[in-house]
């Protein structure tokens, strides 16, 4: 019988990167890394998925910020700026940044930043998958890597951004502590020649770490009792 995979997914240049391990207790500590331009193609690379964590919003507010985003920023303190506001559902269908900002301002009084707008295609991709293949609603959870690293770092936000060399070193050290240096080296080799960068890989590892905790019943959910959006999707961040 094929052991299902626990998968950690992050966006990367040109698509998505995943790091995965078998879910079954006692299964070999195999690790797989995959890159694909489309999320659905990435998920199809795995024979069976028990649970996948993804660093992308799932469940979108109709107006105003999501409670989970506010809670995540508060928990992260100085790293709170890494939590971009999730798009409002009414703005998701916009075809231009200007249109998205106008719809958002009408709904909640705030426009859409350039950084947030750049995430719209990926958010649409996740939302489309969950709308067209409802089985994924039970197997795909939202994870924010900075919350994962906070938990891996004894509950303390990391002092440096992942865009600084000392921030990369600290994240790599935490991943090595959780998964082993050999596992990192295996993933680096598997991703050679792809467009995935080191910070993408480390974020995917962090998401995998939280997905494994969720499978084991040890995960944390923000908020503890998440509301659902108009499509029935929970608005929560797990870690």
- Per-residue model confidence as pLDDT tens digits over 70-95: 999 999 999 999 999 899 999 999 99
Q: Which of 217, 218, 235 is nearest to 226 (CA)?
A: 235
Kindly indicate the confidence band of residue 3, based on its pLDDT and cuts at 50, 70 and 90: confident
Query: Which pLDDT tens digit goes with each residue over 172-196?
Result: 999 999 999 999 999 999 999 999 9
The 49-54 sheet, strands edge to edge? 32-36, 15-22, 5-12, 49-54, 140-142
Give yes or no for residue 25 having a pLDDT over 80: no
Share of the chain above pLDDT 90, in %: 93
Prediction pTM value? 0.96
For the ranges 5-9, 20-24, 69-73, 150-154, which has the lowest average pLDDT?
20-24
Please state whether 134 falls in left (phi above 0), alpha (psi between -120 and 50) or beta: alpha
Cis status, amide bond into 223, omega within 30 of 0:
yes
């Amino acid at each position: 019988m094929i052991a299902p995979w626990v998968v950690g997914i992050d966006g990367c240049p040109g698509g998505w990167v995943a790091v995965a391990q078998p879910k079954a207790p006692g299964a070999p500590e195999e690790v797989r890394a995959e890159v694909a331009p489309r999320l659905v193609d990435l998920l199809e690379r795995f024979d069976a998925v028990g649970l996948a964590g993804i660093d992308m919003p799932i469940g979108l507010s109709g107006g105003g910020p999501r409670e989970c985003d506010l809670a995540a920023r508060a928990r992260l303190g100085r790293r709170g700026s890494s939590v971009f506001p999730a798009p409002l559902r009414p703005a998701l269908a916009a075809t231009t940044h200007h249109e998205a900002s106008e719809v958002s301002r009408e709904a909640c009084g705030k426009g859409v930043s350039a950084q947030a707008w750049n995430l719209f295609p990926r958010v649409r991709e996740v939302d489309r998958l969950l709308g067209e293949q409802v089985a994924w609603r039970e197997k795909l959870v939202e994870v924010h890597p900075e919350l994962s690293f906070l938990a891996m770092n004894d509950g303390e936000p990391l002092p440096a951004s992942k865009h600084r060399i000392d921030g990369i070193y600290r994240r790599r050290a935490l991943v090595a502590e959780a998964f082993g240096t050999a596992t990192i080296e295996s993933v680096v080799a598997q991703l050679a020649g792809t467009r995935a960068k080191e910070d993408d890989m480390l974020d995917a590892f962090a998401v995998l770490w939280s997905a494994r905790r969720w499978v084991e019943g040890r995960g944390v959910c923000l908020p503890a009792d998440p509301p659902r959006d108009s499509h029935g999707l929970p608005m929560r961040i797990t870690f």
